[in-house]
């Protein structure tokens, strides 16, 4: 049932402006975008950005959406002041750029944000969602961080952590059926390894016809035929968080 504290997310994507409901704060050495719900809560979600960084309006929009659904949502700068990738950059330099931004080396920053959420925001149950680079970071955190309750990895680059599958927490994996970055063969292998090794609840879901980045695509970039899948994935993400936080 919908109520004012946790409104029904059935019209997610159409009600709110992008990245405008929260504020930027400084948390020790990290800048972060923080958006809080109207009513107080002890539940929080860390939103991990993609290669385009913490200021991308699409990602802040997701943080706003999570706050509207009753969570303290924060999107920290996990590049810690290093420049985000720009579409105008030369893709031939991407691998060198990526070497200095390892999705598996964000533990120090996550600990700082966890402390902030607990001490400054009153959070007791904290989950994490992430997109692309951030989706891979979610996989990393679900494998090793005991202080998180759950995670949603959205088109996380599997090859970063493909040799490990013993998750500590319930994890939901969202993939696109026509993702040129993450072939479906990789998703199949991930499912097989999870089935063999994982002792916690997980789910892997592929959304047909969708391409990389579909869940946090801006409203003006959504084709009518894609909208049902985008809305379904956003609701699935919210429902998973509701279940485990």
Decide if 132 is catalytic.
Answer: yes
Distance CA(31)–CA(79), nearest Å, equals 10
- The catalytic position among 132, 169, 216, 236 is 132
| Active-site residue, 29 included | no
How far from each other are the two terminal CA atoms of the chain, in whole angstroms?
17
The Cα 59–Cα 53 span in angstroms is 9
The verdict on whether 96 is a catalytic residue reads no
* Token pair recorded at residue 138: 């979610």
User: Annotated catalytic residue: which of 49, 169, 212, 216?
Assistant: 212
Are the CB atoms for 143 and 117 separated by under 8 Å? no
- How far is residue 26's CA from residue 4's CA, in Å, rounded to a whole number? 30
Residue 73 to residue 46: CA distance in whole angstroms: 6
CB atoms within 10 A of CB 200: 13
Q: In Å, how far are 1, 18, 68, 153, 245 from 238, measured between CA atoms?
A: 14, 18, 11, 12, 10
**Cβ neighbours of residue 115 closer than 8 Å, sequence gap 6 or more:** none
Spot the catalytic one: 50, 77, 179, 236. 179
Residue 123 near residue 72 (C-beta atoms within 8 A): yes
Residues serving a catalytic function are 132, 179, 212
């Amino acid at each position: 049932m919908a109520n004012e504290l946790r409104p029904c997310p059935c019209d997610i994507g159409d009600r709110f402006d992008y990245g405008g409901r929260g504020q930027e704060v400084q948390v020790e050495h990290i800048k972060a975008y923080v958006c809080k719900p109207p009513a107080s809560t002890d539940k929080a979600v860390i939103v991990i950005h993609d290669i385009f960084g913490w200021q991308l309006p699409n990602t802040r929009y997701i943080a706003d959406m999570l706050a509207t659904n009753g969570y303290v949502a924060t999107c920290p700068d996990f590049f810690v002041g290093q420049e985000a990738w720009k579409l105008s950059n030369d893709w031939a330099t991407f691998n060198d750029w990526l070497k200095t931004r390892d999705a598996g080396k964000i533990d120090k920053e996550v600990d700082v944000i966890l402390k902030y959420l607990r001490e400054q925001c009153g959070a007791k149950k904290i989950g994490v969602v992430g997109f692309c680079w951030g989706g891979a970071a979610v996989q990393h955190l679900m494998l090793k961080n005991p202080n998180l309750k759950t995670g949603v990895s959205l088109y996380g680059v599997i090859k970063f952590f493909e040799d490990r599958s013993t998750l500590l927490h319930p994890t939901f994996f969202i993939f696109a059926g026509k993702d040129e970055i993450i072939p479906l063969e990789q998703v199949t292998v991930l499912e097989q390894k999870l089935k063999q090794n994982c002792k916690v609840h997980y789910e892997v879901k592929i959304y047909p016809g969708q391409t990389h980045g579909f869940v946090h695509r801006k409203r003006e970039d959504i084709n009518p035929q894609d909208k049902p899948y985008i809305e379904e994935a956003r609701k699935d993400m919210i429902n998973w968080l509701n279940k485990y936080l």
